[in-house]
Structure 1
Amino acid sequence: MRRSDRLALMFLAALAVATPLRAERTVLAPVPTVDASPTRKLETAVFAGGCYWGVEGVFSHVKGVQLVVSGFAGGPRGRRVDYDMVSGGDTGFAEAVRVTYDPAQVSYGTLLRIFFSVIADPTTLNYQGPDHGTQYRSALFPLNGEQGKAATAYLAQIGKAGLWRDPIATKVERFTGFQNAGQDHQDFMRKNPRHPYILRWDAPKLAAFKAMFPILYRETPSA
């Protein structure tokens, strides 16, 4: 672990003790007026919403979600990257998650609603919470036309909803592929529930999801 990382963890540990646990501002986003048509097979969706630990942590507790993988999306097709490369902020990639879900249980539009209600602030450009840089931007990566129409319509819908003071910065981006992050970044919230970063920034998101969407919450996370 780099010295800068150790110092950051020491600071976060002190902050977690000194600061009462509280969620970042949450907003109950509206029910989508346009959604992807349900299918009879598992579907996949890709979201970027800041540090992937919390994005994965929340989506893994959604009923109907079968698998969530942390990784990278948004950069040039065919280029191979890893965490250290993406962390430099100049690769074009963003930390992202790949969500495999059963559309008979949870729709793509519902995943969008959860994403903007408790995971990502759609008004912050190139950052989420304490993490700054293009690698922490919020973005939607539709994998087909149905998702593309739903994502575009939902960004327009929440832009008109008046729930956020600032304009929507989240973009729909062309999907150029997804690369898994290292194994040490997978299921990070589940494996490290007392990590200072998780306590301060991600556990409140999961608590907010449970409170706001109790019917969709499941206690045991997906694999």
Structure 2
Amino acid sequence: MIGSALKRPLAIAALAALLCGGAAVLAPAAERPVRLPPPAADLDPGAPGLRRVVLAGGCFWGLQGMFEHVRGVTRVVAGYAGGEAATAHYRTVGSGGTGHAEAVEITYDPAAISYGKLLQLFFSTAHDATQVGGQGPDTGPQYRSAIFVADAAERRAAEGYIAQLGAGGQLHGRITTTLEPLRGFYPAEDYHQDYLIHHPDSLYIVMNDAPKITALRRLYPGLYRDAPVRVAAD
């Protein structure tokens, strides 16, 4: 499984020799970024202050790396959601049997970017919500597409946008994203945080994750910022 093979500090030569299920694992993710309309109905920003949303869509390196370039986002943490605290560890989650998904917790300012706008980017440039059983070269339920909803308002907004996209037919297949209750978010190990920033030349990053940032800049220049936010200062 790529999740436990490529996602280590391996040499490029070693990466090139890896196989997964008999097929070369170095093929890029089959994502098709497309500019999407914003939600017809968005979440009320409520009282002033920061909010958080937890999203899952494949390897958390790429999700974190892309959302760190979004205007209005103040912090993005890679971690795990969907399972119990006792199993929120990388090697355990990699088994696929914990209920966890690799996810990101996005802290954002509703005065600068809305919940709906974040979902717009999630479905447009962050991952392919029509894939089944994982994302690109990463397979297993720990790489599923999911929105972890904190309350009824988030669920209504997410359901409404999924229905809107499904009716509009802008995506190239049926949306497989699940809506799951947010029971907890558990930050991943330190070496996973800001991984894309620290390892920009990793072959996995170059082929699967850096293109998300390129798509964000191309499709939504007004939402893109060049300097990413970081979990921790170097």
Q: Which residue identity lines up with residue 128 of structure 2 in the other structure?
A: D
1:131 aligns with 2:135: no
1:9 aligns with 2:29: no
Give percent identity, aligned residues only: 44
1:58 aligns with 2:61: no
The equivalences for 1:1-223 within 5 A come to 5=6, 6=10, 9-11=15-17, 24-39=31-46, 40-76=48-84, 78-223=85-230
Deviation per residue, 1:7-36 (Å, 9 max, x gap): 862347x987xx8x8983112122101111
CA distance in 2 between counterparts of 1:55 and 1:93 reads 16
Structure-2-length-normalised TM-score: 0.86
Q: In structure 2, do the counterparts of structure 1 residues 48 and 196 end up closer, same or farther at CA, with 3 Å as the change threshold?
A: same
Structure-1-length-normalised TM-score: 0.90
8 Å contact from structure 1 (residues 48, 97) kept in 2: yes
**1:199 Cα deviation from its structure 2 partner:** 0.2
Structure 1, unmatched stretches of 5+, are none
Q: Aligned with 1:79: secondary structure?
A: helix
**Pairwise CA RMSD of aligned residues?**
2.2
Q: In structure 2, do the counterparts of structure 1 residues 152 and 161 end up closer, same or farther at CA, with 3 Å as the change threshold?
A: same
CA distance in 2 between counterparts of 1:117 and 1:145 reads 24
Q: Aligned with 2:75: secondary structure?
A: strand
Deviation per residue, 1:153-179 (Å, 9 max, x gap): 111111111123421110111111000
CA distance in 2 between counterparts of 1:140 and 1:36 reads 14
Number of equivalent positions: 216
Structure 2, unmatched stretches of 5+, are 19-23
Deviation per residue, 1:46-69 (Å, 9 max, x gap): 000100000000100000100000
CA distance in 2 between counterparts of 1:100 and 1:49 reads 17
8 Å contact from structure 1 (residues 52, 70) kept in 2: yes
Q: Aligned with 1:135: secondary structure?
A: helix
CA distance in 2 between counterparts of 1:11 and 1:161 reads 42
